[in-house]
Amino acid sequence: MANAYDLIVLGSGPGGYVAAIRASQLGLKTAIVERESLGGICLNWGCIPTKALLRSAEVFHNMKHAADYGLVAEKISADLDAIVKRSRGVAKQLNQGVTGLMKKNKIDVHMGDGKLTAKDKIVVTGESGKTELTAKNIIIATGARARDLPFAKADGKRIWTYRHAMTPTEMPTKLLVIGSGAIGIEFASFYNDIGVDVTVVEMLDRIVPVEDEEVSAFLEKSLKKQGMTIMTGAGVKTIDANAKGVKAEIEDSKGEKQSHDFSHVIVAVGIMPNIEEIGLEQLGVTPDERTHIKTDGHCRTNVDGIYAIGDCTAGPWLAHKASHEGVIAAETIAKSMGKDGHPHTMDINNIPGCTYCHPQIASVGLTEARAKEAGHDVKVGKFPFIGNGKAIALGETEGFIKTVFDAKTGELLGAHMIGAEVTELIQGYTIGKTLETTEAELMNTVFPHPTLSEMMHESVLDAYGRVLHM
Report, as residue numbers or ranges, the catalytic residues: 449
Pairing outcome for strands 144-146 and 271-273: antiparallel
Q: Radius of gyration (Cα) for the chain, nearest Å?
A: 24
The upper half-sphere exposure of residue 431, i.e. CA atoms within 13 Å in the direction of its Cβ, equals 7
Residues paired with residue 393 on neighbouring β-strands, in sequence order: none
Residues 164, 154 contacting (CB under 8 angstroms) = yes
Q: Which of 18, 25, 21, 23 is nearest to 7 (CA)?
A: 23
Chain CA centroid to CA 232, Å:
22
Q: How many Cα atoms occupy the beta-carbon half-sphere of 316 within 13 Å? A: 21
Contact (CB, 8 A) for 134 and 125 = no
DSSP secondary structure, 28-83, as one string: --EEEEESS-TTHHHHHHSHHHHHHHHHHHHHHHHHHTGGGGT----S----HHHH
CA 116 – CA 10 distance, rounded (Å): 9
Beta strands in 264-366 (DSSP E): 264-267, 271-273, 306-308, 353-355, 361-365
Residue 439 CA, chain-centre distance (Å), reads 29
* Concatenated DSSP letters of 240-290: EE-SS-EEEEEE-TTS-EEEEEESEEEE-S-EEE--TTSSHHHHTPPB-TT
The CA distance from 197 to 230, in Å, is 12
List Cβ<8 Å contacts ≥24 apart for 194-199: 194/56, 194/57, 194/60, 194/78, 194/80, 194/83, 195/78, 196/171, 196/172, 197/173, 197/227, 197/229, 198/227, 198/228, 198/229, 199/174, 199/175, 199/228, 199/229, 199/230, 199/231, 199/260, 199/262
First vs last Cα of the chain: how many Å apart?
69
CB atoms within 10 A of CB 292: 21
